[in-house]
Amino acid sequence: PGVSKDVLYSISSGDPEGYFTVDGGSGTVRTARPLDHEARAGLEVEVQARHGSPPAYASSRVRITISDVNDNAPVFLPSSSESLLLPEVTKMGAVVYRVRATDRDSGHNGQLSFDLVSSGTGGGGGERTFGVDRGSGEVRLIGGLSYESVPRYDLQVVAKDGGAPQLSATFTLVVHVQAQDAHGPSFDTLTYRVELRENAPLHTRFLQVRALHREATGSSSSSSSSSSSEAAPPPPAMSYRLRADGDAARFGVDPVSGWLFVRSALDREAKDMYLLTVLATSGPAGPSTGARTGGTGAGRTGSATVRVTVTDENDNSPRLSQERAFLAVRENQVAGTGFGRVAATDRDAGLNARLTYRLLHTDRHFQINSHT
């Protein structure tokens, strides 16, 4: 029989966010804004038909299922990096860490597997010393540890989902090897965590690290009760430095006080997290720094990790996806009918990236949703 031209259609309920619109004349339901399975996996809208004057009404419910696409990469919990201290006598086969990650997608798109892809410092291969269970994310020791050969490992664990195209994320696990004699300097914490605002002025000091002579712990009582008239020699001087790598280039450390400072400009939108290794050397640091030495402990080196998270400043303006948008609308549409959308993005984060929309020149015939 065809479509009556006297019937007007509208969505009366079930879609408060305005994902869909209905053509008032034909009853065709269309999308009005991008759909996100993770935000709304489905909804049931009520379409109302109006006819005549005085009007008569009828309604029908339309159930819409939003299928998933692989649009979310894995996210590590609680953060994308961690560090730990392992004694070099740790037994092979021991589980030393469990990487945890989640993926907001569904089905195969959200199923994760883990792979170990990196090596240790000093030329030691992390893949030959550690292994990761592809399903559980458990990291195991599969080789022997030697502080003299490799005092630290930077392990990169990649989490991949099962979608197509496949998405991935990388977790950094810093493993410090503790020498069996444990005579090197010891920091007051293994991992320092600090937040630093982007665009912080150069030479801004943001963290003071501190290391102690390990021999001093537990030995003060015996030295104070000594009957010898000779005073104990003062401990060797402590000096600090950053391990030279890509992340360290933007930072510096005062060798005497241990204060870390900004050496070059930080931009959160370019890089939002840095992992630094700060080294403390007891006494003169020669070519053999880090190896065991006898006697006073001079020349021994201890290390700790500094995780610098760069926080956001509102230093980016919104950008529209198009400078000009041409939209068409049918005549005789019901008030409130959507007929198009403009989109904008902001490179900042959090509240700094939350956008609102308005029309520069108001018109009684048109309105814009300030949020969508």
pLDDT the model gives residue 231: 60
Omega of the bond prior to 185 within 30 degrees of 0, cis?
A: no
Helix locations, the chain, DSSP H = 126-129, 220-224
User: Could you give the 3-state DSSP secondary structure of residue 351?
Assistant: helix
Summarize pLDDT for 326-348 with one digit per residue, the tens.
Answer: 877 777 777 777 777 888 888 88
Q: Hey, what are 137's tokens?
A: 């994310």
3-state SS of 43-107? EEEEEEEEECCCCEEEEEEEEEECCCCCCCCCEEECCCEEEEEEECCCCCCCEEEECEEECCCCH
pLDDT the model gives residue 287: 41
- The CB density around residue 299, as the number of other CB atoms within 10 Å, is 20
Q: Per-residue b/e over 166-179, b at no fewer than 16 CB within 10 Å?
A: ebebebbbbbbbbb
CA distance 44 to 115: 41
Mean per-residue pLDDT for 242-255?
89
Let me know: does 140 contact 93? Beta carbons within 8 Å.
yes
182 beta partners: none
pTM, two decimals, is 0.62
Using alpha carbons only, what angle is made at residue 245 by residues 186 and 248, rounded to the nearest 5 degrees?
Answer: 70
User: Could you give the 3-state DSSP secondary structure of residue 142?
Assistant: coil
CA distance 21 to 15: 9
Strands ordered across the beta sheet of 112-116:
81-87, 168-178, 152-161, 112-116
Summarize pLDDT for 168-225 with one digit per residue, the tens.
Answer: 999 999 888 877 655 678 888 888 999 999 999 999 999 999 998 765 444 433 333 4
pLDDT the model gives residue 253: 97
Element (H, E) at 6: none
pLDDT the model gives residue 297: 44
The larger pLDDT score, comparing residue 271 to residue 140, is at: 140
